């Protein structure tokens, strides 16, 4: 059920948490492939001190069901915290009607989830484990201070195709593997639809393989515009 890579990453996770004075790990469990692989790795590193949080915010019920199934399949402790009301109240305070396709509003969801994760982390003495992979991190495809807000990124050196390969070695359910990748920001949203490029092209670019000039231009523009997401806030050098 495990691979050499999964053991290596799990050992790294355990070392990072313990050396940092932590007792365990907490992470978001969305029902997608990245969070599922992260759950397997965390469970391996901390069999008794791993907590998956299912944090729906006007989310697809099928994703919630998948997340619960993953937790039950691997014997993972989990809790469900519904943020629908919190999100609605916040939007009312801003004077907005719900419009999930407005990115400024949709990004509130991962930021509320980050707040929830850190509440549990502080309460339990755990580290927050993010689920971002190298493909997403390279393009800045994450919400700043949202799903980008975490302590450790065990998948951060794996491209999306590497994550799929690891998922198969861990015997993750085909149901999870075959789902179109989605951040769940709005109904019908998919990663590739929003990015305008495929993960295959993104991974080929990262690995130095040939991609079209149009794809290369799109990817490099996204990398340039998202540079601020991968760095600490700038301060004057005088």
Residue 223 domain-assigned (yes or no): no
217 is in an annotated binding site: no
What pLDDT was estimated at residue 24?
98
Which domain covers residue 54, as residue numbers? 4-191
The pairing of strands 24-28 and 77-80 is unpaired
- Token reading at 141: 């495809």
Which run of H or E residues covers position 116? helix 108-124
The more confident residue out of 206 and 189 is 206
Give the CATH number for residue 43: 3.40.50.620
Q: How many CB atoms are closer than 10 A to CB 52?
A: 28
Cα 156 to chain centroid, rounded: 10
pLDDT in tens, 145-199: 999 999 999 999 999 999 999 999 999 999 999 998 887 777 778 889 889 999 9
32 is in an annotated binding site: yes
Q: How many CB atoms are closer than 10 A to CB 15?
A: 11
Residue 40 domain-assigned (yes or no): yes
15 is catalytic: no
Catalytic residue among 34, 44, 66, 203: 34
Catalytic residue among 63, 136, 147, 201: 136
Local confidence band at 100 (pLDDT 50, 70, 90 cut-offs): low
Q: Give me the phi and psi of 151, to 5 degrees please.
A: -100, -35
What pLDDT was estimated at residue 99?
67
Q: Give me the phi and psi of 10, to 5 degrees please.
A: -65, -40
Residue 79 domain-assigned (yes or no): yes
What pLDDT was estimated at residue 1?
40
Number of structural domains, the chain?
1
Of 125, 114, 144, the C-alpha closest to 53 is 114
Q: How many helices (H) and strands (E) does the chain have?
A: 12, 4
């Amino acid at each position: 059920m495990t691979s050499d890579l999964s053991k290596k990453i799990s050992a790294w996770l355990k070392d990072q948490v313990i050396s940092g004075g932590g007792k365990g790990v907490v992470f978001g469990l969305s029902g997608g492939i990245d969070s599922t692989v992260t759950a397997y790795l965390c469970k391996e590193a901390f069999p008794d001190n791993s907590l998956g949080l299912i944090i729906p915010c006007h989310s697809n019920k099928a994703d919630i069901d998948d997340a619960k199934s993953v937790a039950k399949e691997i014997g993972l402790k989990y809790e469900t915290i519904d943020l629908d009301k919190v999100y609605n109240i916040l939007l009312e305070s801003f004077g907005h009607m719900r419009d999930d396709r407005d990115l400024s509003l949709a990004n509130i969801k991962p930021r509320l989830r980050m707040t929830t994760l850190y509440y549990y982390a502080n309460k339990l003495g755990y580290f927050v484990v993010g689920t971002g992979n190298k493909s997403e991190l390279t393009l800045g495809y994450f919400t700043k201070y949202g799903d980008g807000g975490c302590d450790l990124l065990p998948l951060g050196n794996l491209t999306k195709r590497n994550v799929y390969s690891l998922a198969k070695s861990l015997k993750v359910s085909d149901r999870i593997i075959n789902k179109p990748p989605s951040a769940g920001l709005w109904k019908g949203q998919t990663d590739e639809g929003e990015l305008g490029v495929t993960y295959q092209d993104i991974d080929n670019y990262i690995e130095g393989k040939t991609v079209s000039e149009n794809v290369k231009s799109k990817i490099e523009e996204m990398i340039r515009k998202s540079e601020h997401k991968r760095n600490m806030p700038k301060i004057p050098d005088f």
